[in-house]
Amino acid sequence: MAKFTKKPKDLIADIDYSKTPSTDWMDTPVEFKEHTFCWGAKGKNLEIVGFPNARDWSPAEEDWKLPHDWENTVMDAIKDRLSKYRSFKLFMDICVRCGACADKCHFYIGSGDPKNMPVLRAELFRSIYRRYFTAPGRIFGRLAGARELTLQVLKEWWYYFYQCTECRRCSVFCPYGIDTAEITMMVREFTNLLGLNTDWISGPVANCYIKGNHLGLEPHTIKSSIEFFLDDIETITGIRIEPSFNRKGAEILFVTPSGDLFADPGTYTCMGYLMLFHELGLDYTWSTYASEGGNFGFFTSNEMAKRLNYKIYAEAKRLGVKFIIGGECGHMWRVIHQYMDTWNGPADFLEVPKSPITGTVFENAKTTKMIHITEFTADLIRNNKLKLDPSRNDNLIVTYHDSCNTSRGMGLLEEPRYIIKNVCNHFYEMPEDTIREKTFCCGSGTGLNAGENMELRMRGGLPRAMAVKYVKEKYGVNMLANVCAIDRATLSTLMDYYNPGVRVTGVHELVANALVMKGEKPRETNLRQEPLPGKEGA
Amino acid sequence: MTVQSLLSEKKEQIAKKWFELVADSYPSQTSDFLKSKKNQFLNPVGFTLKEGLSGICNELSLGMDESILKKCLDDIIRIRAIQDFSPSEAISFVFLLKKVIQEVLPELSEDAKEYVSVMVEKIALMSFDIYMQCREDLFEIRVREAEKRNFRLLQVANQLMELKDERVNDLVTGVIDNEKGKG
Ligand code: SF4
Ligand code: SF4
């Protein structure tokens, strides 16, 4: 009857309310808890793109089916990247552990897990770098912050470097400009060399490689989807639009993330593009081959990202267009702005983008030859080329989420805001510390937008959700605008959890609602086929 | 003095102590961060805990308004339900209230203690329901997201089914199965 021998006081003392691990971080082993990580890749998807160690695997299982000499593979890769990328070597050496970045990561803020502090996240790798690539680390080991590479360490890397969305918020606050996102990219490359990919990333990569888009849709499926939009647009405006596909000799190639074609609410943004281009009479074409603006290869390795990106220029060349416009996407723009030109450029068969409507030359895209649609549209509005009726959006109280990639990755801060303010009458910013360069991530970027890791996503999205909650309570905000396909999907989910009643939209959905088109019938509904303000009883 | 007025007099002290104990349920670095960073947007967890807990303390001496209690608890539990806590850990903070009141008001009469006990039990029961609701929401948003993700694809599939294009149909359902039943 031992269980009845304790006094109530002792029983109370037994209850431990604290989560504090009693061990140092190096001695606190990683635990794989359900709903916090993505499922492992399927062998067939890795095989398709020739990734190493192709086999089915599961992160939750003890045996990761690693190649027998995996340690050597990792060491060789580290050596190689250190010699190739000066920034990587620098980031390893110059961190003074000042802690300025420590509380800047949305995953840390939302989870409270110290290993999500950017400085500690980097230490997970840096400790290995020290042990094998620096003299003090080799000699003094743990005293110098170094440790051996073991299977435990590899698992810890995998767990935490797939809890970083490469958002770069931490780098904004680092006095040395250390970019933990780049360290994450490197470590993900190393895991990639061992076949430790996630299903959510490797599936789209394989599909994109064979079919040109993440879902692996074939040309007729893409076309049918757009035809549904055209039917809806006709119902709403009375105008039948006839876009062209794979048309040689068009002036402009338009590429958007395939999420816009299938996932609500991105679909309405896509209808917005179609309506805008039709109204302008733009000489442009869709491509069913370069049918993906997104690039999940970017979340595996530099080489894979390059391979997937290649199709955009190849298609532009094949069709003989003059330049490229890209749809509303986040990481697509980081890739295009920062990498495309060096990977697959120079695209000297293209011309510097020049708006055929306003004559504006986009000098900023001089080398890439590709502009973001919000640059294009902001310029149209500035030059008075669009007839707009913002009162059609009067039922919406809008705020704007800067996607990490467009804001920190390419400095696209004003254009989306300028457009929104011209097509909506009610716009309110979220608090200053949570927008523009200091924006908080949606919590689901870099291929973390799967379903099985929902708990993790809700942790990562928490700071963003709390800022939205504030403007919701203060100004009655009911619409969260953004220019990213992943945001459109994942912020909807984030809002459903934290701020029900706040919906999510792309900027061009708002544009198309306000756009007064030539020959349109009196509009009764918005693109979602809900009554326009004032037409509720109709 | 009634127990309500005693609680009302000490409510700030109770809330502060309670918050500190709850913050200590996180790893030590995090607990420091939750307690020290003041900006509500840069420390949303600390802020929400603080606001919610003092909201509850306020209600202890007032009428225990259910809707206010529910909001305060929901704000806190919605966060703890997705953090690295087991269900019992996630709502353990409620029981700390008893401990805090005992410390701040050691002189309470037996009757008053009984009152506090009943209130804590009431809050605990509400917390179970809210915790379950949050977990249900978590699963529901996952299903909803998968549906939205494939909405147009389903439309296309339906149309193509009419055209009896088996191959595309297979492809489409394959994608959906993939997303819904991965693993
Ligand atoms: S802010 Fe920079 S130097 Fe300071 S700890 Fe973080 S990465 Fe290191
Ligand atoms: S890049 Fe973003 S997600 Fe990664 S550690 Fe820095 S703040 Fe966190």
pLDDT in tens, A213-254: 998 888 998 999 999 999 999 999 999 999 999 999 999 999
- Strands A370-372 and A398-400 come out as unpaired
Which residues, in sequence order, are bridge partners of residue A324?
A253, A370
In this prediction, residue B61 has a pLDDT band, given cuts at 50, 70 and 90, of confident
SS3 A123: helix
**Strand A370-372 relative to strand A284-286, pairing:** unpaired
**Residue A425, C-beta contacts closer than 8 angstroms, at least 6 positions apart:** A390, A391, A393, A394
CA B173 to CA B150: how far, in whole Å? 10
Residue B79 lies in a domain: yes
**Torsion-angle region of residue A439: left (phi > 0), alpha (psi -120 to 50) or beta?**
beta
Q: Which domain holds residue B135?
A: 3-140
Alpha carbons within 13 angstroms on the beta-carbon side of residue A310 total: 9
Q: pLDDT tens across A96-139, in order? A: 999 999 999 999 999 999 999 999 999 999 999 999 999 999 99
Edge to edge, the sheet with strand A398-400 lists A398-400, A479-482, A503-506
For the segment A350-361, what is each residue's pLDDT rounded down to a tens digit? 999 999 999 999
- Banded model confidence at residue A6, pLDDT cuts 50, 70, 90: low
pTM for this prediction? 0.93
**Helix, strand, coil proportions of chain B in percent (round to 5)?**
80, 0, 20
Rounded Cα gap, residues A116 and A118, in angstroms: 6
**Residue B176 near chain A (CB below 8 Å):** no
How many CA atoms lie within 13 Å of A84's alpha carbon, on the beta-carbon side? 8
Q: Distance between CA A321 and CA A317 in Å, rounded?
A: 7
Q: Which two tokens stand for residue A50?
A: 């020739």
Structure tokens belonging to residue A187:
């470590």
- Asked, for residue B152, whether it belongs to a domain, the answer is no
- Confidence (pLDDT) at A338: 87
User: Which of B30, B40, B148 lies at the smallest CB-CB distance from A114?
Assistant: B30
- Kindly state whether residue B50 falls inside one of the protein's structural domains: yes
CB contact under 8 A, B138 and A433: no
Q: Tell me what the mean pLDDT of segment A510-521 comes to.
A: 98
> What are B4-59's pLDDT values in tens digits?
899 999 999 999 999 999 999 999 999 999 999 889 999 999 999 999 999 999 99
Q: Residue A7 — pLDDT band, cuts 50, 70, 90?
A: low
What are the chain B neighbours of A199 within 8 Å (beta carbons)? 182
Q: Tell me, what DSSP letter sits at residue A281? A: T
Interchain CB contact of B38 with A (< 8 Å): no
List chain A domain ranges. 10-39+58-194, 212-514
- What residues of chain B lie within 8 A of the CB of A39, using their CB? 182-183
Token look-up 């790798």 returns A125
Average pLDDT of the segment spanning A418-424: 98
pLDDT one-digit tens code per residue, A166-208: 999 999 999 999 999 999 999 999 999 999 999 999 999 999 9
Place A277 in a pLDDT band, splitting at 50, 70 and 90: very high
For the ranges A171-185, A415-429, B159-173, the lowest mean pLDDT is seen at B159-173
With contact defined as beta carbons under 8 Å apart, do A458 and B82 qualify?
yes
Phi, psi at B128, each rounded to 5° = -60, -50
Residue B161 lies in a domain: no
Residue A221 one-letter amino acid: T
* Cα separation values, A208 from A163, A191, A294, B116, Å: 24, 21, 9, 61
In a domain, B155, yes or no: no
Which residues, in sequence order, are bridge partners of residue A323? A252
CA of A94, closest atom in ligand 1: 3
Q: Closest residue of A to B37, CA-based?
A: A103
- B25 in a structural domain: yes
Query: DSSP letter at A523?
Result: P
Per-residue pLDDT, A4 = 52
| Residue A493 amino acid letter | T
Q: What is the pLDDT of residues A232-242, one digit of tens each?
A: 999 999 999 99
Looking up residue B134, the CATH number of its domain turns out to be 1.10.490
Q: Say yes or no to pLDDT of A506 above 70.
A: yes
pLDDT at position A2 is 46
Cβ pair A437, A407 in contact under 8 A:
yes
- Residue A448, C-beta contacts closer than 8 angstroms, at least 6 positions apart: A38, A162, A163, A165, A200, A456, A457, A460
Angle at A497 between CA A507 and CA B89, to 5 degrees: 150
Instruction: Tell me what pLDDT residue A20 has.
Output: 60
Answer yes or no: are the C-beta atoms of A193 and A75 closer than 8 Å. no
Say how far apart CA A75 and CA A144 lie, in whole Å.
Answer: 19
pLDDT of the residue at B1: 78
In 3D space, the residue among A191, A255, A224 whose CA is nearest the CA of residue A446 turns out to be A191
Structure tokens at A318: 């094949």
Percent of chain B with pLDDT over 90: 73
Tens digits of residue pLDDT in B67-100: 999 999 999 999 999 999 999 999 999 999 999 9
CA dihedral angle for residue A9, residue A12, residue A13, residue A16, rounded to 10 degrees? 180
Give pLDDT, residue B66: 94
Q: How far is the CA of B19 from the centre of ligand 1 (A)?
A: 30
Average pLDDT over residues A310-320: 96
Residue B129 has pLDDT above 70, yes or no: yes
Q: How far is the CA of A315 from the centre of ligand 2 (A)?
A: 34
Neighbours of B183 (CB within 10 A): 8
